């Protein structure tokens, strides 16, 4: 294949990675931005979404598209509910102290992974894609499902943006993010906002997982890479900045696609880590983050 | 209206209020004065539920509010203008007002009434709160609190760092609210500002009320000010 088409293929692969990464990382960024909680269990919520999608696909008879659509609704709701319970049962009791919540979410990560191992088993299991359409370009054919993942991720992110900027719930979240004590002084139930945000963050990871699982299979340890890449993205983009998260996800996703295709996936991870190091040294607040006062 | 009886409160192991007793009636302006660290702001935080009273009771129209979750206190009609304003700086003026209106189900009538008091805010509705001038920020902080239609208004040093015209506007607003029957607790360091609106003055020393005086007839050179405020 010539260089041009090869580059196009690499960019398309990178775009799929970027789309899923943007969804996953926006959940992490949202939780940190509003709650100031570094959620180490975020990758486990991602994994849970994929594993639940497999269960739904197994148990629901009918065409794969039906099971997939059901998983796309059911998994984020269940994962979000689990996250909300974890928030109320654990994080709230720790008064959202930064160090304590890091330790607590590490514990949550292990609990969720071990629960998945017990119920789901150690094997990677495939989930059938809802459709098998192939886009035929002059140089190569490309999975229509992968392009659908990009469109779906973009629509979900647009929805998140609309909720944050133009809904009552979003206004409550932004006010709580600004100053939780003052928010309480104006009748905002901050505990409920936090539970909702933690659920929303986990739900976004679950949606990303359901979208990607027909491409990458479900496995109880699959949350590690998305967690690491999400941290890379939110550090580069600026913790708590949704815009920064999107830009950094595109940057990391596209570079990952291109470098993995032309060189090696390991090199892509090395370069991403190097970029994080440079950002931490020269712009610790991230590309779009606010400098601490 | 609002009554604090024998309140102990503080921050963790640090006790700030020691048996504080105070009350304010409907349509009354109670000005609380004292040196830095006397516990004035802590008292307001205890009323609004930001810190828990370790002992004593806080009642509003006879109902105890000291055990309520902090977010339920404003729903009972207590508006709070914190020291330093503490606006939601990344939100627009309109959004700050909307936050204030949330307990009033976004009542348009309340919104219009509040904006009539501060017409300049109407011209700034789309502007980020952090970009307003100091005076405009204080207007917004008070407007946001008034959106709660408070029975009791708590003002923590609202004139701090403001120009005279703004101080006059705040005084006029407090007097308008007084005429409407709102009880106001005003924490104030400026003697002239306090005397221009107060019905009574409470002087705090070491976390308790040391002296309460009627404001009528008091002048800035009254010995109480030298004793408790250091002027």
B50·A186 Cβ contact <8 A: no
Question: Nearest residue of B to residue A178 by CA position?
Answer: B88
Q: Using one digit for the tens of pLDDT, what is the confidence trace for B48-69?
A: 999 998 899 999 999 999 989 9
Q: Mind listing the pLDDT tens digit for each residue in B208-228?
A: 998 898 888 888 888 888 888
Report the candidate in B41, B43, B46, B39 with the shortest Cα–Cα distance to residue B65: B46
Are β-strands B183-187 and B152-156 bridged in parallel, bridged antiparallel, or unpaired? Answer: parallel
Asked if A170 and A164 count as a contact pair (C-beta separation under 8 A), the reply is yes
What is the predicted pLDDT for the residue at A292? 55
Residue B85 lies in a domain: yes
Domains identified in chain B, total number: 1
State the residue range of the domain holding B84. Answer: 2-219
% chain A with pLDDT above 70: 98
Q: Is the pLDDT of residue A199 over 90?
A: yes
Q: How far is A168 from chain B (nearest CA, A)?
A: 9
Question: Rounded mean pLDDT of B16-25?
Answer: 93
Banded model confidence at residue B231, pLDDT cuts 50, 70, 90: low
pLDDT-based confidence at A165, cuts 50/70/90? very high
pLDDT higher than threshold 70 for residue B70: yes
- Residue B106 pLDDT grade (very low, low, confident, very high; cuts 50, 70, 90): low
Q: What is the pLDDT of residue B92?
A: 95
pLDDT above 70 (res A206): yes
Q: What is the mean pLDDT of residues B67-94?
A: 92
Q: Do A185 and B48 touch (CB under 8 A)?
A: yes
Interface test mutation site (partner A, options B81, B102, B141, max chain A beta carbons within 10 A): B102
CB A276 within 8 A of CB A228: no
Q: What is the mean pLDDT of residues B156-170?
A: 88
Chain A closest CA to B71's CA: distance in Å? 4
Q: Look at B72 and A187 and tell me if their CB atoms are within 8 Å.
A: yes
How many of the other CB atoms lie within 10 Å of CB of A41?
31
Give the whole-angstrom CA distance, residue A138 versus residue A121: 42
CATH classification of the domain holding B161: 3.40.50.300
Residues A245 and A31 sit within 8 Å (Cβ to Cβ): no
Residue B30 has a pLDDT of: 95
Q: Which tens digits make up the pLDDT trace of A45-81?
A: 999 999 999 999 999 988 999 999 999 999 999 999 9
Interface contact flag, A190 B71, Cβ < 8 Å = yes
User: Is residue B230, in this structure, part of any structural domain at all?
Assistant: no
Q: What is the pLDDT of residue A291?
A: 63
Cβ distance B99 to A184 less than 8 Å, yes or no, reads: no
Gap from A83 CA to chain B (nearest CA, Å)? 23
- Per-residue pLDDT at A203 exceeds 90: yes
Q: Do B74 and A181 count as a contact with CB atoms less than 8 A apart?
A: no
Q: What is the pLDDT of residue A110?
A: 96
Query: At B3, is the secondary structure helix, strand, or coil?
Result: strand
Q: What is the pLDDT of residue A218?
A: 94
pLDDT of A86 above 60: yes
The yes-or-no verdict on residue B120 having pLDDT over 60 is yes
Q: How many helices (H) and strands (E) does chain A have?
A: 11, 2
**Of B50, B89, B90, Cβ closest to residue A185:** B50
pLDDT digits (tens, 9 = 90+) for A101-146: 999 999 999 999 999 999 999 999 999 999 988 888 888 888 899 9
Contact B111, B147 (CB under 8 A): yes
Model confidence at B162, pLDDT cuts 50, 70, 90, reads confident
Nearest CA in chain A to B78: A185
Q: What is the mean pLDDT of residues A200-217?
A: 96
Q: Distance (Å) from the C-alpha of residue A195 to the closest C-alpha of chain B?
A: 15
Interface contacts (A, B; CB < 8 Å) = 61
Question: Which residue, B162, B153, B213, is CA-closest to B27?
Answer: B153
Q: Tell me, what's the pLDDT at B216?
A: 84
**Mean pLDDT computed over A164-187:** 94
Domain assignment present for residue B231? The answer is no
Mean pLDDT of chain B: 90
Q: What pLDDT score does A145 carry?
A: 94
Determine contact, residues B73/B150, Cβ cutoff 8 Å: no
**ipTM attached to this prediction:** 0.88
Share of chain A above pLDDT 90, in %: 71
For the segment A161-172, the average pLDDT, to the nearest whole number, is: 94
Question: Do the Cβ atoms of A178 and B91 come within 8 Å?
Answer: yes
For residue B82, tell me if it sits in a domain. Answer: yes
Categorize the per-residue pLDDT at B2 as very low, low, confident or very high, splitting at 50, 70 and 90.
very high
Nearest to A80 by CA among A211, A209, A196, A218: A196
Q: What is the rounded CA–CA span in Å between residue A204 and residue A292?
A: 27
How far CA A206 is from CA of A23, A147, B123, in Å, comes to 9, 19, 44
């Amino acid at each position: 294949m010539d260089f041009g088409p090869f580059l196009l293929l690499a960019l398309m692969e990178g775009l799929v990675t970027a789309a899923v990464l943007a969804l996953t990382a926006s959940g992490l960024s949202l939780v940190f931005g509003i709650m100031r909680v570094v959620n180490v269990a975020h990758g486990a919520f991602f994994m849970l979404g994929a594993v639940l999608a497999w269960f739904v696909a197994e148990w629901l008879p009918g065409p794969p598209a039906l099971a997939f659509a059901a998983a796309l609704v059911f998994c984020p709701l269940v994962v979000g509910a689990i996250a909300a319970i974890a928030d109320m049962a654990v994080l709230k009791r720790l008064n959202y102290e930064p160090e304590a919540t890091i330790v607590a979410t590490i514990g949550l990560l292990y609990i969720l992974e071990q629960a998945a191992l017990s119920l789901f088993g150690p094997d990677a299991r495939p989930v059938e894609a809802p459709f098998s359409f192939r886009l035929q370009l002059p140089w190569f054919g490309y999975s229509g499902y992968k392009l659908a993942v990009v469109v779906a991720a973009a629509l979900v992110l647009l929805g998140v943006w609309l909720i944050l900027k133009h809904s009552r719930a979003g206004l409550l979240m932004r006010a709580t993010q600004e100053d939780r004590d003052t928010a309480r002084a104006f009748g905002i139930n901050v505990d409920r906002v936090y539970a909702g945000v933690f659920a929303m963050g986990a739900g976004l990871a679950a949606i990303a997982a359901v979208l990607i699982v027909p491409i990458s299979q479900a496995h109880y340890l699959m949350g590690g890479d998305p967690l690491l890449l999400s941290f890379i993205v939110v550090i580069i983009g600026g913790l708590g900045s949704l815009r920064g998260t999107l830009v950094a996800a595109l940057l990391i996703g596209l570079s990952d696609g291109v470098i993995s295709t032309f060189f090696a996936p390991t090199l892509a991870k090395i370069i991403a880590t190097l970029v994080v190091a440079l950002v931490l040294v020269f712009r610790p607040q991230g590309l779009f983050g606010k400098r601490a006062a | 209206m609002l009554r604090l009886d024998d309140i102990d409160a503080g921050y963790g192991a640090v006790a700030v209020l020691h048996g504080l007793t105070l009350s304010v009636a409907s349509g009354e302006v109670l000005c609380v004065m004292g040196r830095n660290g006397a516990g004035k702001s802590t008292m307001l935080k205890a009323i609004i539920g930001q810190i828990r009273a370790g002992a004593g009771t806080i009642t509003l129209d006879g109902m105890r509010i000291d055990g309520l979750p902090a977010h339920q206190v404003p729903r009972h009609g207590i508006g709070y203008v914190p020291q330093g304003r503490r606006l939601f700086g990344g939100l627009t003026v309109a959004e700050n007002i909307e936050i204030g209106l949330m307990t009033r189900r976004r009542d348009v009538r309340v919104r219009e009434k509040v904006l009539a008091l501060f017409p300049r805010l109407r011209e700034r509705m789309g502007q980020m709160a952090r970009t307003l001038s100091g005076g405009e920020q204080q207007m917004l902080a008070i407007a946001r609190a008034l959106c709660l239609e408070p029975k009791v208004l708590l003002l923590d040093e609202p004139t701090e760092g403001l120009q005279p015209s703004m101080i006059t506007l705040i005084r006029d607003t407090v007097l308008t609210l007084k005429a409407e029957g709102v009880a106001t607790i005003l924490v104030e360091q400026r003697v002239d500002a306090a005397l221009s609106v107060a019905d009574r003055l409470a002087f705090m020393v070491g976390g308790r009320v040391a002296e309460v005086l009627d404001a009528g007839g008091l002048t800035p050179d009254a010995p109480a000010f030298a004793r408790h405020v250091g002027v």
